[in-house]
Amino acid sequence: MSYRAEYIWIDGTVPVPLMRSKTKIVKDGQEPGIWGFDGSSTNQAPGSNSDCVLRPVFTCPDPIRGGDDILVLCEVLLPDTMKPHKTNTRADLVKVAKKYASHEMWFGMEQEYTLFQEGRPMGWPAEGYYYPAPQGPYYCGVGAIEIAGREVVEAHTDACLAAGLEIAGTNAEVMLGQWEFQIGPLSPVAVADQLWMARYLLYRVAEDFGVNASIAAKPIMGDWNGAGCHTNFSTKEMRESFPAIDKACKSLGEKGKPEEHLAAYGHGFEDRLTGQHETAHWSEYRYGVSDRGASVRIPWQVAKDGFGYAEDRRPNANCDPYLVARVLAHTVCAALEK
């Protein structure tokens, strides 16, 4: 009996890539294998030479369709050389992860997103009052006034669990209609693969509810929190001693590093990293214990224990996790080797 394999990839749309997918019917007993697509329709090739290659890199059960059907996350290759396409950011992460494998780096990524319905965040008034009550009661809130979209969140969580993803938790965020889920801790490539897959499931589940899940960095302008992808990171050395954590955090502020990292942290950071709404200004770099207004936060429990991890609060919700994991792994591990 045949089964369905949903091939999923990241396209070449700028400034924020989109996710694409299509279905392949695979005969029972066969692997999904390499496939192709029209790159001229995804901003990845000209019409005169449009073929691109999909190579499976991560598979899991398809919790939407069920049965024997699977989801297949793919990287994009060039057909003539079978080398990574220029939009394939995973390939460079694989190289960096192998280079610094001895440091046993772990990541946990906190994906914030906003649910939109009929052009406005869920729970926001349609007319009359143009805004809900100011921020305050919504973060981890309970109740019909404080929360909107929980049914979407629960369905997405169920889907991630059924797919076998390492989803660590969910919570309502500071703006009404805004939520978060966490993936990890996992190794650099695994956390990025699974975050992309969890995003796919979020979009797919929201689709069934007639809702759009947005990962815009500043979904609503004004006195409202933006949406980030706070990235928790550690190495073997950091999980053993506080001096290693301090050294890692200092390395992120060395000459040229803040600019390099911001360039990899997603579109629209100037709108989100304003120095308000629990962020440091994008033009500065600082780190501190229990400081959610810092660029990088060291949790108070970590400072007390003398070992653990740190949290980079700068990545946007729309970041490419392959890029985030790559620059963090390279900067931190290289510094620890000095």
Q: Which residue has the higher pLDDT, 22 or 132?
A: 22
Give bridge partners of residue 316 from the DSSP assignment. 228
Sign for the CA dihedral angle at 302, 304, 307, 312 comes to: positive
Give bridge partners of residue 288 from the DSSP assignment. 297
**Structure confidence at residue 222 (pLDDT):** 87
Report pLDDT digits (tens) over 84-104: 999 999 999 999 999 999 999
pLDDT band at 133 (very low <50, low <70, confident <90, very high): confident
Sign for the CA dihedral angle at 59, 310, 102, 254 comes to: positive
Closest CA to 331 of 280, 257, 277: 257
The DSSP result for 197-258, as a single string, is HHHHHHHHHHHHTT-EEE--SSSS-SSS---BEEEEEE-TTTTT-HHHHHHHHHHTTSTTHH
Question: Is there a contact between 89 and 323 (Cβ–Cβ < 8 Å)?
Answer: yes
**Structure confidence at residue 130 (pLDDT):** 64
pLDDT band at 298 (very low <50, low <70, confident <90, very high): very high
Report pLDDT digits (tens) over 184-219: 999 999 999 999 999 999 999 999 999 999 999 999
d(CA 218, CA 225) in angstroms, rounded, equals 7
Question: Is there a contact between 22 and 32 (Cβ–Cβ < 8 Å)?
Answer: no
Question: Is there a contact between 60 and 71 (Cβ–Cβ < 8 Å)?
Answer: yes
Report pLDDT digits (tens) over 59-78: 999 999 999 999 999 999 99
**Structure confidence at residue 223 (pLDDT):** 86
pLDDT band at 261 (very low <50, low <70, confident <90, very high): very high
pTM over 0.75? The answer is yes
Q: Quickly list H helices, the chain.
A: 90-99, 150-163, 188-208, 242-251, 257-264, 269-272, 300-305, 321-336
Q: What percent of the chain has pLDDT over 70?
A: 99
Q: Cα 60 vs. chain centroid, distance in angstroms?
A: 18
Cis peptide before 79 (omega within 30 of 0): no
Question: Is there a contact between 177 and 153 (Cβ–Cβ < 8 Å)?
Answer: no
Please count the residues of the chain: 338
Q: Quote the tokens at residue 192.
A: 């990025």
Report pLDDT digits (tens) over 155-189: 999 999 999 999 999 999 999 999 999 999 999 99
d(CA 316, CA 225) in angstroms, rounded, equals 12
Report pLDDT digits (tens) over 205-260: 999 999 999 999 999 998 899 999 999 999 999 999 999 999 999 999 999 999 99
d(CA 291, CA 298) in angstroms, rounded, equals 7
Task: Give helix 90-99 / helix 188-208 axis angle, nearest 10°.
Answer: 150
Q: Quote the tokens at residue 175.
A: 């703006």
| 65 backbone dihedrals φ, ψ, rounded to 5° | -85, -35
Question: Is there a contact between 316 and 110 (Cβ–Cβ < 8 Å)?
Answer: no
Q: Quote the tokens at residue 183.
A: 């993936």
- In the predicted model, what is the mean pLDDT of residues 309-320? 98
d(CA 205, CA 199) in angstroms, rounded, equals 10
Report pLDDT digits (tens) over 15-61: 999 999 999 999 999 999 999 999 999 999 999 999 999 999 999 99
